[in-house]
A and B are shown apart, each in its own frame.
Chain A
Amino acid sequence: MTISVPPSARQRTRLWPSGLVVPLGVTIPVASVLASFAVGLLLVVLMGAPLGQALSSFLDGAFGSSYAISVSLNRAAVYSLVGLGFIFANRANLTNVGAEGQIAVGGIAATAVALVPGIADLPLGLSFVVPTLAAMLAGAIWGGIAGVLKARIGTSEVISTLLLSFIAVWLVYWCVQSEHLLRQPMTSAATLPESLPIPETTQLPLVTGDYGAPANLGLPLAFFLAIAVAVVLGYSRFGFQLKAVGFNPLAARRAGFSTRQTIVVAFLVAGAFGGLAGAVMLLGDQYSLKAGFSSGYGYDGLVVGLLARGSTVGVIATALLFGFLRSGGISMEMGAGVPAALVLVIQGLIVVSVSGAAFWLDRRQPAKE
């Protein structure tokens, strides 16, 4: 079974009458995003919600205050990290749909390490770096399992990462349910099934230093990693190797590149990105582990990765778009009574239309003779 999201190495370009060359790989996703938004607005009207109020509460939730903007940016950071991991593995023609699980195990590991006595007292920022590294390691292992299975016995990574996600999500539930694991000590029947809050020194520093605008280090980190990923994919020997294995494993092996090693490394990296996203969520935003901690971030990030079509700039742009979209959607539900599920409809439409549009983007040369 071969599963491919075609790596967008070189997109065909279309010449517009004005002479302006716009790559089809940009036009189509942008057009489908706009069209999906239009459908979303139409639904708002159809549902009888006051459009003006819906829009204003949407904008309020997305950009209304420095707090709202910070929340949106934090969200965008998580989406970017997941999306970067996705396009990295996808360069080797691997489809990592398991970010949700990688976030979950990352969150568990970050919490567990942050709560270890002594970690909070580490100097030089190590107090939050160590839990972050632990989360990346956990995510890498979770992704690596899928990679090893794929490399060893050819298990479809889509199925294995998806199942691993379900397992990881319930692992979180287990961890916060059981006092032997991470649940805070039960002092009364009302004790919530969640972990102890992590110590303040293990929290990810805020860019602003102000809880009123809690934008954390996540987004600058994502920017930095986006550049790193772009360089590795486009200009390094390993990027060449990923691309070769992704296009044609037989030829890559002939050329002396180990396909198994490539697949495993690609998944370790993608998983580490997922784990890092989990750490950013936990250490930079939620501060304690709760059931349903990952709450769909992994799947949203997957959509970001898909839409970006292999481009790191695309990842950041899409992540920002989705970050504000989600925040606005939640506020719209509270302010105008439009269910936040509307955002899911819009996202679904985007993915469906972009996947269908691949017909025009990756049109194959017809076979001659």
Chain B
Amino acid sequence: MIPVDDAGTMVVNRHSVADALSFHGVTKRFGSFAALSDVTVAFRRGEVHCLLGENGAGKSTLCNLAFGIHQADAGEIRLDGAPFRPSGPGDSLKAGIAMVHQHFSLVDDMSVVDNLILGQARGIAWRRAFAAKLEELTTRYGLALKPFARVGDLSIGERQCVEIVKCLIRQPRILILDEPTAVLLPDEIKGLLEVVRRVAVEGCAVILVTHKLAEIRDVADRVTVVRQGRVAAQSQTPGQDIEALVRAMIQRPLEALDPAMAMSLGISAGSEVKRRAARIGPRGPDALQIDAVTVKDATGVVRLDEVTLTIQPGEIVGIVGVEGNGQSELGAVLAGTCPPSAGRIIVGDLDLTGRPPQAFSAAGMGVVPEDRHAVGAITGMTLTENLFLDRSRVPTRFGLLRRRVMREAALTMMAQFDVRASGPDVAFGSLSGGNQQKAVLAREMTRPGLKVLLAAQPTRGLDVGAVEAVYGLIRAASERGVAILLISSELDEVLAIANRVAVLYRGRIVGECRGEPGQRERIGALMAGHSA
């Protein structure tokens, strides 16, 4: 580990000829928020340099500065020792920097080849020539892609493959990958890391953003930890420094971490995690029954295929699967926003099949939707209004809102669920991700007669403190006897807090097992579609 001085800045290393790209005292602000402050770091040719940090720590900002999406407010970026000030991605691409973005950066409605041509050529689009180039690259790196397939029809893994090829076809000198593995299956991750390794060996400087410690162990030559926009630590021997790196990332003793949190970070093996026994009495009436539910989308494609699942009061059931295997549809069915084409949904003893969302709410179904911006809340309205974003709970008298009553209740909920905001009347969109999610949980968990809580991707994009709070709230609800359905793409998270795990693959439940770390391998195989 390279020591870090008190101010949190790293002891500056001299410019080395091997440095392909270096940041010198770089600062970037968004409004009053400093996303990066005084960051100094160098990336060398032939190395895989991992950036580790919590959500919001500034890793992506760092990548976006190098790629020219944002411009630094202070400090200097150097490319091969010369000052580099890209005014847009075009400049960076010309300089030999390629980037795989955190979210797919592909045009769904175009073919693979057209996506590759974008920004790569002028004049006539010689699609055949590009297809041949693509062929050559994919064979060289052991990938497989159909050049004329429409990107929108590809699987998540294949799309990520297009992203990588899109970069490789430019023969970059610097390759930036921003959390490229977040959406991939274990096997696909392995393949991707191999490609990354080879690219580095060929002399490219690779910057890999990740929060998975296993990946750091596998490929990293060097790790830089970013915390609150500053460099918190650096290591040239990451394999040996994992614990120290994590400590630098979360800045507190590992022992104080919630065991589930520790496990989903990948620091404890899991066997020593003390599991709280779920209070499930003798098998009584189910809180939630999903009975052979089938969902077809507008084009007739089956998205959920005879899914059957029951949950007892107080039980936590996790649903895992690679994104796009029916999780969103399952969430929508249980929220009442997508009536199933066949099958039944029963909450308590009420058959809610085909009923509108308000009937689900009335029956005691709380929903934390997977996308809190798109479905869970309305960012343009106030915190109070969002806490009452429920037709049956808006307090009215003669059709008029009782604003005072709402405000007071909002203050109570904020205190109870630790929602931190300057007041109940601030715009919801101005809250941090963690506080937004706590507010959504507050609304759903204070629902009168709550029987079932559906939590879809409840910790996505949250920092460690907020994740712990969410786990705590979910457990508290379970102890109150609420049945919980946890849909998550973070396998470790589900294993850490669920009593039972079901695997969704292509809209079917392909396997169920107890929520134990020992089941990891088996679940991984099921997620990939291998029958166990």
Name A residues whose Cβ lies closer than 8 Å to a Cβ of B: 7, 9-10, 231, 235-241, 243-244, 247-248, 250-258, 365-369
Please tell me if the beta carbons of A236 and B401 are within 8 angstroms of each other in the complex: yes
Out of A244, A254, A365, name the residue touching B31 (CB < 8 Å): A365
- A188 CB to nearest chain B CB (Å): 57
Decide if A255 touches B399 in the complex (CB within 8 Å): no
Q: How many A-B residue pairs have CB under 8 A?
A: 89
A244 partner residues in chain B, CB cutoff 8 A? 378, 381, 385, 389
Question: Which chain B residues border A236 with CB–CB below 8 Å?
Answer: 396, 399-401
By the criterion CB–CB under 8 Å, are A254 and B337 in contact? yes
Contacts of A7 in B (CB 8 A): 380
20 further A-B contacts with Cβ under 8 Å, apart from A240-B385, A365-B429, are A9-B380, A235-B401, A236-B396, A236-B401, A237-B400, A237-B401, A238-B399, A244-B381, A247-B380, A254-B335, A255-B390, A256-B356, A256-B361, A256-B392, A365-B30, A365-B31, A366-B31, A368-B56, A369-B55, A369-B56
Using A365-B430, A368-B30 as known contacts, say yes or no to A251 and B378 having CB atoms under 8 A apart.
Answer: yes
A9 engages B400 (CB within 8 Å): no
Identify which of B31, B35, B358, B381 contacts A247 (C-beta below 8 A): B381
**How far apart are B431's CB and chain A's nearest CB, in angstroms?**
11
Contacts of A258 in B (CB 8 A): 356
- Does B267 sit at the interface, judged by CB under 8 A? no
Alpha-carbon separation in the docked complex, A369 to B34 (Å): 11
* B374 adjacent to A250 (CB under 8 Å): yes
Q: Which of B35, B361, B401, B430 has the most CB of A within 10 A?
A: B401
With known contacts A235-B401, A236-B399, A256-B358, A368–B378 Cβ distance under 8 A? no
Q: Which of B358-394 contact A (CB under 8 A)?
A: 358, 361, 367, 369, 374-381, 385, 389-392, 394
Q: When each residue 326-364 of chain B gets 1 if its CB lies under 8 Å from chain A and 0 otherwise, what string results? A: 000000000101000000000000000000111001000
A256-B358, A256-B361 in contact; A251/B31 too (CB < 8 A)? no
Contact with A along B48-83 (1 / 0, CB 8 A): 000000011011110000000000000000000000
Residue of B nearest to A238 (CB): B399
CA–CA, A10 to B30, complex, Å? 22
Query: Interface digits, B391-417 against A, CB 8 Å rule (1 contact, 0 not)?
Result: 110101001110100000000000000
Closest to B443 in A: A255
Return 10 A-B CB contacts under 8 Å, by A number: A10-B427, A237-B394, A237-B396, A239-B401, A240-B394, A248-B380, A250-B375, A251-B378, A251-B389, A368-B56
Q: How far is the CA of A258 from the CA of B403 in the complex (A)?
A: 22
Residues of A within 8 A of B60 (CB): 369
Judging by beta carbons under 8 Å apart, are A254 and B367 in contact? yes
| Distance in angstroms between the alpha carbons of A64 and B393 in the assembled complex | 55
Please, how many angstroms separate the alpha-carbon atoms of A7 and B380 in the complex?
10
Contacts of B59 in A (CB 8 A): 369
Residues of B within 8 A of A231 (CB): 400
- Whole-angstrom CA separation of A366 from B31 in the bound complex: 8
Interface band, chain B:
35 or more
* Smallest beta-carbon distance B179→chain A, Å: 11
Complex: how many Å from CA A97 to CA B429? 30
A193 to B57, CA, bound (A): 74
Are B357 and A256 in touch, CB under 8 angstroms?
yes
Interface of B (DSSP majority class)? mixed
Structural contact, A253 and B337, CB atoms closer than 8 A: yes
Residues B243-270 near A (CB distance < 8 A): none
> Whole-angstrom distance from the CB of B147 to the nearest CB of chain A?
31
CA gap between A7 and B376 in the complex, in Å: 20
Instruction: Give bound CA distance, A238 to B394, whole Å.
Output: 11
- Give, as a whole number of angstroms, the nearest-CB distance from B511 to chain A: 30
Chain B neighbourhood of A255, CB < 8 A: 357, 389-391
- Which partner residue on chain B sits nearest A367 by CB separation? B30
Contact: A368 with B35, CB < 8 Å?
Answer: yes
Write the nearest CB–CB distance from A165 to chain B, whole angstroms: 30
Residues in A with CB closer than 8 Å to B335 are 254
How distant is B475 from chain A, measured CB to nearest CB, in Å? 25
B381: contacting residue among A243, A253, A365, CB under 8 A: A243
Contact of B369 among A235, A243, A254, A368 (CB under 8 A): A254
Q: What separation, in Å, do the CA atoms of A256 and B377 have in the docked complex?
A: 13
- Minimum Cβ distance to chain A for residue B29 (Å): 10
Closest beta carbon of chain B to A265's beta carbon, Å: 14
Q: How far is the CB of B33 from chain A (nearest CB, A)?
A: 6
Known: A236-B401, A257-B391, A365-B429. A247 touches B378 (CB 8 A): yes
Q: How far is the CA of A255 from the CA of B381 in the complex (A)?
A: 14
Q: CB-CB < 8 A to B385: which residues of A?
A: 240, 243-244
Cβ contacts under 8 Å, A240 to chain B: 385, 394, 401
Is there contact, CB below 8 Å, between B401 and A253? no
Assembly CA distance A258 to B357 (angstroms): 9
Chain A nearest CB from B59 CB (Å) reads 8
A369 touches B401 (CB 8 A): no
Q: How far is the CB of A365 from chain B (nearest CB, A)?
A: 7
In whole angstroms, how far apart are the Cα atoms of A237 and B400 in the complex? 6
CB-based closest 9 A-B pairs: A256-B358, A256-B391, A247-B380, A366-B30, A255-B389, A248-B378, A247-B378, A369-B60, A250-B375
Residues from chain B with Cβ under 8 Å of A239 in the complex:
401
The reply to whether A252 and B378 contact each other, CB–CB distance below 8 Å, is yes
